[in-house]
Chains A and B, each alone.
Chain A
Amino acid sequence: MFEGIWTGFQVAFSAQGLLFVFIGAIVGTLIGMIPGLGPITAIAVMIPITYGMDPAMALLLMAGVYYGAAYGGAASSILLNAPGESMSVPTTFDGYPMAKQGKAGKALAVAAIASFVGGTISVILLTFFAPALAKVAVSFGPPEYFALMLMGLTAVASFSDDSTIKSLISATVGLMLATIGIDSQTGTMRYTFGNPNLLEGIDFLVIALGLFALAEVCSLILERKEKAANMNKIGSLRLTKEDYREMAGPMGRQSVLGFLIGVLPGAGGTIASFLAYISEKKLAKKPEEFGKGSVRGLAAPEAANNGSSSGAFVPLLGLGIPGSGTTAVMLGALIVLGIQPGPLLMSDHPDVFWGVIASMYIGNIILLILNLPLIPLFAKILRVPRPLLTSLVIIFCLIGVYAISFSTFDLYLLVAFGILGFLMALVKFPPAPLLLAFILGGMMEQSLRQALTISNGSFSIFVESPIALSLLAVALLSFIVPILKNRKKKKYDVDNQMEI
């Protein structure tokens, strides 16, 4: 094994290898910064370019693009509140508030470091445990996925600081939106009103950019006087010792958790980063800081989604099963290079297997070296005069949505969700539960129905599987515990008041 990784490193550390990773990282970061263009598009664009190249070099280029695009996505989430991909949504929760407080530089640095740590820890795990974990990857069937999604969904209850009811209402709307489109179990059209643009449902990006970025633009325009002072400050990049101490725990834990979730095909980065955010909020001594620019709250999802990105390579390299959209495109890219990933990849093409892993180490390092000095440059976008910046964000969102669907209909939808998001902000309905429920709802419904079809309608299928049963138990607990806690707290408050 060490021989394998050594050969991999030799290839990756050649001058040519480094150059390709470097080019990939720059191209990837730039593509990733545009909302809507994430790692999937970035790699798809690279496929025809890598055709005919030496496979090892092509993989290095793509590893650079992959990590670059993931990091670029974090930048637009932090600076503009415009998450380009579902997995970078939790990055906005604390990243954007930091930018608003004039700490954009620090936020980007935290994201870069957390990504690096998440990426590196998980690649180390991948190096040592990939073959062993391949078994874990196929342990999930429809009932287990349903339980996992349900567990993810219970997170909505923890999103609100004031009103659980508002979170739940918001989540319900998200679940309803998820039903739009052709139902994949029966082929029936649901709520499409004969409009072909709705056949495939509403794209995640339309809702995310509308509810987050456009809604924020509206608020910025309204409150242009008060906050204008802070926001065009970038602040120092330097992290204090205190910051590092804060970050260390979440980064370590969430890199591993993210990796493990990434190993499950189909679950992926979104669940990993949401769960990371929620679990850190629950573990934190001062959970009230979350959502207001907490370093922990930013580091956790960033470490987790990078961890899960490497985790997704376990089923791809170990079994030939692409577990996420990005690895599906990677699979295509490997085929073009003449390599068919499958269970035998490691024994048939050890050079490719280790080449990919070595390129991930290098990709992570190069990205960190490349991005830290570039942060002031990225952050300069905030120096753009306010009226211009808000218009830029609007254009950014329009382009992002148009680039994935090429449909003007989606642009109208985007504007509609922008208005909805703004109205929700006015009456303090949190948008995150809506988005989370929308993302998980579709998959949850499908796996529920797949499970019930398999069991001929019997719900016992969820109890028979130990994995599903334990996940359901965790889901139940995470729903009940906060309610009990609240009750206790209320009682405590009442007692306190009485004393006074």
Chain B
Amino acid sequence: MKKQFGFIFLILTMVLVTACSSDSASSGGEDGKWKPEKSIEIVAPSGAGGGWDTTARMAAKVFEEEKIIDQDIGVVNKPGGGGAVGWAYIHAKKGNPHHLFVNSPPMILVPLNGQSEYDYEDFTPLVNMIADYGAIAVAADAKWDNLKELFEDMKKDPSSITVIGASSPGSMDHIQFVKVAKAAGVDIKKIKYVSDQDGGALTAVLNGSADVYSTGVAETVEQVKAGKLKVLGVTSEERLEGEVLSDYPTAKEQGIDATFVNWRGFFGPPDMSEAEIKFYEKKFKELSESEGWAEIRDKFGWTEMYMDSEQYKEFLAKEKEELKKLIDELGLGK
């Protein structure tokens, strides 16, 4: 009891201290090594509670609890424009390595849709940490039992099937579906995609207003367990691990050569030095290997996907190229 109380007090103090702290004793800088000289800010370019926010808060928590970084780490929300507002904020911190941010595929998709003037290339990709995958699900009593059947019907009469997702056209839920459908030979321009950003997408599939639910795998597990949804395919390379998850067939094993990774990692402002990048690579590697982080990964159903700065850059360049093709074909590109 007392312990819990103390814990709460500690957190509250930490929050306050993070908010007000400026400099602290430690400083480094000898022979190409760099250490943060003051508290670090991690920006979640979204409101409280979403995927970026959770990743940032959990990373900050484990960093401090496992004493991987001995500076205070504060998480700040910069919502707006699907991330664009937060990116503009970080871009203005050019050369200041105490500001990081969390990101994922929208970092590529939003600029491709012409909704942000900054692209991932305008920042310093530091590390990727985790991966999540997409699921294509339908109501449990739907007539399709696998992706092949669904796409056959879609090829015949695209206007009879409604696909629903939580993101806007050209963003994740739409694009992951389009990517798989295209590989299956569907005319992607004719796909009827409805966006429901107020959380009604799952409801719409359950009550039959929409037919296909394009979402993340984690969102489907409980519904599948309860016999309300069935997952026709997931976008990972191989079958996922875990109860229920391992039953989901991949698109690949159904002969559709397409994958979609919802990667999530950390970026810094433009113009970071080699020493600064090395510092964060090392620390995030430690985080990725820590027990605390493994526990959190399990809890949220994330897969480990660590990449250092160089690997990350290559990966992102490839992703961008592929996604650009899709967006252009859909006629959404700017």
Contact = CB atoms under 8 A, between A and B. Distances in A.
Interface of A: 16, 23, 40-41, 44-45, 47-49, 51-53, 57, 137-143, 145, 182-187, 189, 196-197, 199-200, 265-266, 315, 319-323, 325, 328-329, 332, 335-336, 338, 340-345, 404-407, 443, 446, 450, 453-454, 456
From B48, B53, B115, B192, name the one whose CB has the most chain A CB atoms within 10 angstroms: B48
A343 B76 contact: no
B185 interface: no
Interface in B146-203: 159, 162, 168-171, 192, 194-200, 202-203
Contact of A343 (B7, B78, B223): B223
Given A44-B48, A51-B61, A182-B115, A320 B223 contact: yes
A199 B226 contact: no
A403 to B, nearest CB: 10
A493 to B, nearest CB: 45
Contact of B225 (A16, A40, A321, A342): A342
Contact of A187 (B11, B57, B170): B170
B272 interface: no
21 contacts: A16-B1, A53-B4, A138-B207, A140-B203, A141-B203, A141-B207, A183-B168, A185-B168, A186-B169, A187-B171, A196-B88, A200-B82, A265-B199, A332-B49, A338-B299, A343-B223, A406-B77, A446-B195, A446-B196, A450-B195, A453-B162
Contact of B209 (A40, A45, A142): A142
Contacts, number: 161
A145 to B, nearest CB: 7
Give the interface centre of A41, A323, A406, A446 by most chain B CB atoms within 10 Å.
A406
A404 B47 CA distance: 8
B311 to A, nearest CB: 30
Contacts of A404: 47, 79
Given A185-B195, A187-B168, A332 B222 contact: no
A404 B116 CA distance: 21
Contact of A342 (B47, B49, B78, B223): B223
B82 A343 contact: no
Interface of B: 1, 4, 7-8, 11-12, 47-49, 53-54, 57, 61, 76-82, 84-85, 88-89, 113-117, 159, 162, 168-171, 192, 194-200, 202-204, 206-210, 221-223, 225-226, 228, 299-300, 332
Given A185-B169, A187-B170, A344-B226, A141 B204 contact: yes
Given A44-B49, A139-B207, A145-B200, A199 B54 contact: no
Contact of B85 (A48, A186, A325, A407): A407
Nearest to A443: B198
Nearest to A44: B48
Nearest to A16: B1
Contact of B208 (A141, A321, A329, A456): A141
Nearest to B200: A266
A332 B54 contact: yes
A119 B9 CA distance: 30
Contact of A335 (B223, B225, B299): B299
Contacts of A321: 199, 202-203
Contact of B199 (A140, A182, A322): A322
Contact of A200 (B76, B80, B200, B203): B80
A319 B207 CA distance: 13
Contacts of B54: 332
A49 B8 contact: yes
Contacts of B57: 47-48
A48 B203 contact: no
A87 B249 CA distance: 43
Contacts of A142: 194, 196, 200, 204, 209
A192 B195 CA distance: 20
Nearest to A52: B7
B80 A335 contact: no
Contacts of A342: 221-223, 225-226
Nearest to B4: A53
Contact of B115 (A185, A187, A446): A187
A320 B222 contact: yes
